[in-house]
Amino acid sequence: MPRAIVLRAPGAADVLRIEAVTVADPGAGEIRLRQLAIGVNFHDVYVRSGLYQTLPLPGIPGIEGVGVVEAVGPDVTNVAVGDRVGYISPQYGAYAGVRLLPAAQALPLPSSLSDAAAASVLLKGLTAEMLLRRVHRVEAGQAVLVHAAAGGVGRLLCQWGAALGATVIGTVGSEAKAAVALAAGASHAILYRDQDVAAEVRRLTGGRGVDVAYDSVGATTFDGSLDSLATFGHLVNFGQSSGPVPPFAVARLSPKSASLTRPLIFHYLADAARRAEMAAALFAVLESGAVTAEVARTFPLSDTAGAHALLESRDLAGPIVLLPEPADL
Ligand SMILES: NC(=O)c1ccc[n+]([C@@H]2O[C@H](COP(=O)([O-])OP(=O)(O)OC[C@H]3O[C@@H](n4cnc5c(N)ncnc54)[C@H](OP(=O)(O)O)[C@@H]3O)[C@@H](O)[C@H]2O)c1
């Protein structure tokens, strides 16, 4: 029997334990995937901790993976047995050796991307595409603030934002992470555990502020992001790695005619044509070398708990990928 990580109740990382599971034959419109690599995302931490109650329990967490199609159900025409595909799925189930997936969610991958690289960059890279090209259209000459700039999504925002001609100001939790953000194209790195972010942003922008602040840290950074905006600036809150943002008075936007958005990648990927366009844009910047897929650490699927503990520790810069072992398949 294949194995998967089954979440039975929310809790700390050690609730993530591997179990034998049965995987049925694919039904209409479904495929069965033998997984090659699985992306670990901060979303998975929110699900495991209980902050998000979007996975019915007991359930198999995980929203991103790469695998080979083992079997196809009736009515599947977009992929065939033997194809290698990637996916991002709001139906969860990625923390598994073998899984069923709606065929419509399968994305063809360029052969230049290894399995682990693809699992490290699909969700995070499509999120960067959504943020830089759709939620706010970053133009050359704009000033952009990126929190957690050495993280999975953050590093891609630095690379892609700089490639678009923006001046990227990154915030990071350590000197080592500052070096990562600067190497990725940030012009400046603020140590946000020690420095006043808004004061630093004003100093670095000659008092003007940034056109857009990409904030995935939430509770500890939200006020600083708002205070960092230029007139007409746009605050994009897209995560809460430090905790949820407390209730917010809309009138706080008026001193700068600022705007606030709270996008979710699944909404942007729901339309197949838009998803294909976003993936093509991501694969093009990867192909050009302007953006790079870098795997910071791999863990065996059986040690997903170790992967979550490391992600939450803030000690790592960059993406973690889980690799199924023969016993999981
Ligand atoms: N809205 C969407 O559709 C969407 C899609 C994808 C990702 N996201 C969000 O994007 C963010 C980044 O995701 P990721 O998977 O790439 O993770 P990540 O950035 O690699 O890891 C999170 C980083 O947040 C920082 N952080 C600040 N306070 C923290 C705290 N109290 N606990 C833990 N980390 C803290 C840490 O960097 P420092 O050490 O530098 O502080 C940490 O490395 C997450 O908030 C995620 O939910 C949202």
- All structural domains of the chain, each given as residue ranges with its CATH number in brackets, are 3-113+294-328 (3.90.180.10), 122-266 (3.40.50.720)
Best mutation site among 38, 42, 120, 242 for ligand 1, i.e. most ligand atoms within 8 A of its Cβ?
A: 42
Residue with tokens 């943020």: 131
> Quick one: pLDDT band at residue 241, thresholds 50, 70, 90?
very high
Average pLDDT, the chain: 97
Instruction: Return d(Cα 200, Cα 221) in angstroms, integer.
Output: 13
Distance 148 CA to ligand 1 centre (A): 6
Residue 178 contacts residue 189 (beta carbons within 8 Å): yes
Once rounded to an integer, what is the mean pLDDT over residues 241-258?
A: 96
What pLDDT shows up at residue 95?
Answer: 98
Q: Is 171 in the pocket of ligand 1 (CB under 6 A)?
A: no
Best mutation site among 48, 153, 192 for ligand 1, i.e. most ligand atoms within 8 A of its Cβ?
A: 153
Percent of the residues in the chain that have a pLDDT greater than 90, as a whole number: 100
Question: What confidence tens digit (pLDDT) does each residue in 76-121 have?
Answer: 999 999 999 999 999 999 999 999 999 999 999 999 999 999 999 9
Instruction: Return d(Cα 219, Cα 216) in angstroms, integer.
Output: 9
Distance 240 CA to ligand 1 centre (A): 7
What is the enclosing helix (H) or strand (E) of 79? none
Residue 163 contacts residue 186 (beta carbons within 8 Å): no
Question: What confidence tens digit (pLDDT) does each residue in 270-326 have?
Answer: 999 999 999 999 999 999 999 999 999 999 999 999 999 999 999 999 999 999 999
| Inter-CA distances, 302 with 8, 42, 43, 322, Å | 16, 18, 19, 9
* Nearest residue (CA) to ligand 1, atom 25: 148
Distance 80 CA to ligand 1 centre (A): 35
